[in-house]
Amino acid sequence: MKTEFVSKRAKPYADVPDEKWNDWRWQLSNRLNTVDEIGEIIPLTESERKALQTQGLFRVDITPYFISLIDPDDPEDPVRRQVIPRAEELQAFTAMMEDSLAEDRHSPVPGLVHRYPDRVLMLVTTQCASYCRYCTRSRIVGDPHQTFKREEFEMQIEYLKRTPQVRDVLLSGGDPLVLAPKILEELLSRLREIPHIEIIRIGSRVPVFMPMRVTQELCDMLAKYHPLWMNIHVNHSNEISKELAEACDRLTRVGIPLGNQSVLLAGVNDNVHIQRQLVQDLVRIRVRPYYLYQCDLVEGAGHFRTPVAKGIEIMEGLRGHTSGYAVPQYIIDAPGGGGKIPVMPNYLLSMSDHKIILRNYEGYIATYEEPTDYLPSKAAKFKGVKRVEAGQEGLVSLLEGKEMFIKPEGFDELHNRHGIQHRLKNEEKWKPLGIGSEESADGTKE
């Protein structure tokens, strides 16, 4: 059944003037983080009180807007569970890690994670509008002492300038949209000055925590740096309000494609009906479901984890049962830095050299005959290299079927400066390449 997206405001905020309520700076400066402040809005359980009074717990901050989405009479409210800590955060669970994705190990310079060949993650702040209790980067996020300095930003830009295989930069943190507007625009303009960077992406939960930040002025500024994409982070349909729908509308109208990354969380959205409602509501506000993440092995989040079988069950209940546009990829971000691995139900039952056996979402079995006279296309002659393919186990370029190892200028200097050891396979095979010059890998000129 189609739901209507509505505005909500908790009773204690009923007398706040609209001009203040709709000011994102007011929302930031009036965040709630103590037992007394949160208890004025929501009756707290003993578990929540214990967690909020524990020293050293991951930071708590909740915008007045977002806490207003919580049903104060429901201790299991799905929005509540995401931002108000419980005593379970104090428990020690097996297999949990501080840096489960080994991001620090893949950082050639502070705040820059280069795990995949043609794209990097650029951490631009450690601050957020509100803080998710399952935060992957809780080791640094929310800590006022873990800020990125100007000189570290310059090192990030310098690395990107001298690493031409990078064509895609994802800004994250923390949350880039909590930065001062001038700083955010400087970041974008500096990235746009680098010729080989084709795409800029922003990962942000600010439109969800504080949609009033998505002003027309912000949207017009972002539109100056196209192609620019944005992924937001909604885990449950209760987070989709009239304000969020309007914020997404402003972003899409200036040409910013929107995706959604959600996390599979026990007690929040580990149900196929909840997930189906979520993805359908997202598509209604022109946000395409992108990833459904398995909860990471991060300390303090063990009580949110589900079996992987639960995620596969949910994907089984989405594929074929709703629009293809509304079906995300179910992803496990491999512990230890292996990157994102898609996991899905098995629709391919068997395979031979002449046919494959498939099943559909209803269990219908089909046979697909394989071609017997298939001739693969011939690869076009490779005349030069404009971008070096990169991997964290060595920079590999496959030129005309010949494996060559190409080390960008300054690679060792940047990596050794920060004490990061990269295991480079077959290092004796490295051959020089004038990065940024007109010379190609085989010595010819373009």
Active site residue 115: yes
CA distance 21 to 330: 36
Q: What are phi and psi of 61, to 5 degrees?
A: -155, 130
User: What is the CA angle 193-195-198, rounded to 5?
Assistant: 100
Q: Where are the beta strands (DSSP E) in 85-244?
A: 112-116, 119-123, 168-172, 199-203, 228-232
CA distance 281 to 305: 24
- 8-state DSSP, 325: G
Residue-wise DSSP of 100-140: TT-TGGG-SBTTEEEEETTEEEEE--S--SS--TT-TTTTT
239 sits in the region (left: phi over 0; alpha: psi -120 to 50; else beta) called alpha
Instruction: Report residue 263 as tokens.
Output: 């996390």
Selected catalytic residue, list 133, 135, 161, 291:
135
374 sits in the region (left: phi over 0; alpha: psi -120 to 50; else beta) called beta
- Which residue from 91, 32, 124, 98 is spatially nearest to 302, judged by alpha carbons? 91
- Which residue from 262, 328, 317, 342 is spatially nearest to 290, judged by alpha carbons? 328
- Which residue from 389, 392, 415 is spatially nearest to 403, judged by alpha carbons? 389
Active site residue 340: yes
Selected catalytic residue, list 31, 80, 119, 276:
119
Selected catalytic residue, list 80, 132, 276, 291:
132
Active site residue 137: yes
Selected catalytic residue, list 77, 81, 99, 128:
128
CA distance 127 to 89: 21
Active site residue 132: yes
Selected catalytic residue, list 116, 143, 310, 387:
116
Q: How far apart are the first and last CA of the chain?
A: 60
Selected catalytic residue, list 77, 99, 175, 296:
296
Active site residue 135: yes
Selected catalytic residue, list 137, 139, 201, 305:
137
Selected catalytic residue, list 49, 288, 340, 407:
340
Active site residue 296: yes
**Catalytic positions:** 115-116, 119, 128, 132, 135, 137, 296, 333, 340
